[in-house]
Structure formats: structure tokens, C-alpha cells
Amino acid sequence: MSEQPLRRYGETDNTRGSRKGLYVLPSLFTAGNIAAGYYALSQAIQGTAADPWHFDHAAKAIGFAILFDGFDGRIARMTNTTSAFGRELDSLADVIAFGVAPAILAWMWGFRMLPPIDDNDLRTKVIQLGAIATFIFLVAGASRLARFNIQTNPQPSNPGRPGRKYFVGMPIPAGAGVVAAVVHLVGGAPLQYWWLSIGWGVFVFAVAFLMVSTWRFYSFKEINLRERRNFRWMIVFGGIIALGWFFSQYVLFAIALVYTLSGVLARLSFVFRRPGVPPPSPQDEASHA
């Protein structure tokens, strides 16, 4: 009979398995996610009104991070190389690429680069409010990740067809993508008016609320890349890729806007279609008297 290796005190099968190493292929995409987030941070810090292309590059880097994040999970599931270590590494990468990077980009682009105005105290207050709004975005994104990690197949609060096909709350990559899409839409040119900055702060706060809400957003997990598809799908996908390449500013903004509104409209439709509570019967009223 083969002899089993000794197990240290407090060591479980999961901890022993995680010490053996990591799966290289999905971890490479996770590393790409981290690299894109780091590059986005460096570009956001270097951005100025004279060099707005830094902000645009930061927004593009967040977009690439979203691609890397989508591929690493799918590849891990398709190749059966999922692991506890990979899940933790992916969450840490998401905090960098979809939490810290878009928060810094949103603050630098929408508030920090405000030009001097007659009322300098107003400008200072707007910048401070922007720091609060973007910090709330970061905390909301981290909370969204923490809630996702501790729940198994969470159910949305508004049941229609709940389950794996829906996320509970806007996922943090989508929240970061909305911020990046707005910056990319204008080519990285920072905001020049304080009232626009206030509107931008409200928008960032609204995205933060969507991330911590219990509203449902489509997860795209039901899409199986290993299934056979009609050749016409290649034409559709090719057309979308071509449009995104030549008109990325408008296409990516439209995609981000539609995805955001999909969750909002789904929630509103549930609220208005929800049947009213029936009035209590005479027996119930008598029992509560």
C-alpha cells in the first residue's frame, strides 16, 4: 500500500493543492489584466489638458483589461484548469484594473484637470467632491467583488428568469468599461467646466450604485464558444469587430450605454409589472384585531 504524505496541522486538501502551483494559460491572461490596469494607472497620472491622449490610452487599456478578464475565466473553464488560487488572483487583478485604475482616471479626467475659474474656492470644492465620488466608486467595486466571491449562484432580487445567466448588480468590469467608454468617446479631452464635472460626479456615483445594487445584468455565461454556429455568425462578428476598429469611440460607448440601460430597464419593468399585494380578507383582519 502506497504511503500518503504527512499533512501539516491545519492544512486542508485545498491548501495543499494550491501550493502545487498555478495553471499557466489562464494566469497569463490574468497577468495581462494586471498589466493593462497598471498601464492605465500610469497613463491617467500623466494625462494633462495639453496631452489628453494619455487619458485616451488609459481608457483603451481598461478596455483591453476587460478582454483579458473575459478570456481567463472562459479558458480556465474550457480547459478545466480552474483553481482557488486563480480565482483569488483574478479578484485582485480586477481591483487594480477595474477599481483603482478607472477611479483615478475618472478623477484626473473629470475633476483634477479643471482649469482655473474666478471662484477658486468653488473649483476646490468640486475637485474634493470628485475625489469622494470616485472613492465611492472604488469601494463599491471592491464590495461588488467581495459579494460575488462569497456567494454561489446568487439570485437577483427581481425574479424573472434568475440564475447563472444574470449577475446580481452591475459587474465591476462593466462599471469600469462605462467610465472608460465616456473618456474614449471624447478622445481623452478632460472636462473644462465645473458644472460638467458635477454631472460627471453624479454619473460616477450612479455607476457605483448599480454595482452594489441587487438589479440583474446579463452575464453572457450561456454563450458556448465550443458549439457549432451558422457561418452567418462569422459575418456578424466580423462586422462588429470592423465597426469597433474604425469607429471604436462610438461603438464602445453605445455598447456600454446599452448594457447599463439594460439593467435599469429590466428593474423598471419588474417594478411596474409586479402585481399589487391583494387586500387582506375579513378573516385576516379579524385575526389581527
Chain centroid to CA 218:
12
Question: For residues 114 and 192, is the Cβ–Cβ distance under 8 A?
Answer: yes
Rank 150-164, 169-183, 228-242 by mean pLDDT and report only the highest.
169-183
7 is a domain residue: no
Q: What local confidence, expressed as pLDDT, does residue 1 receive?
A: 45
Q: What local confidence, expressed as pLDDT, does residue 288 receive?
A: 38
**Residue 42 grid cell:** 500610469
Could you report the per-residue pLDDT of 211-258, keeping only the tens digit for each? 999 898 888 766 655 666 666 777 877 788 888 788 889 999 999 999
4 is a domain residue: no
Q: Give me the helix-helix angle, 24-46 and 84-95, nearest 10°.
A: 10
Give me the number of domains the chain comprises. Answer: 1
Question: What are the φ/ψ torsions at residue 278 (nearest 5 degrees)?
Answer: -65, 145
Nearest CA among 124, 98, 122 for reference residue 112 = 124
pTM of full prediction above 0.85: no
132 is a domain residue: yes
DSSP secondary structure code for residue 97 in this structure? I
**Residue 133 grid cell:** 465620488
Strands (E), the chain: 166-168, 216-218
89 is a domain residue: yes
CATH number at residue 131: 1.20.120
284 is a domain residue: no
55 is a domain residue: yes
281 is a domain residue: no
Q: How buried is 230 (Cβ within 10 angstroms: 0-12 exposed, 13-18 middle, 19+ buried)?
A: exposed
42: containing domain: 21-271
CA gap 251, 244 in Å, rounded: 6
3-state SS, residue 218: strand
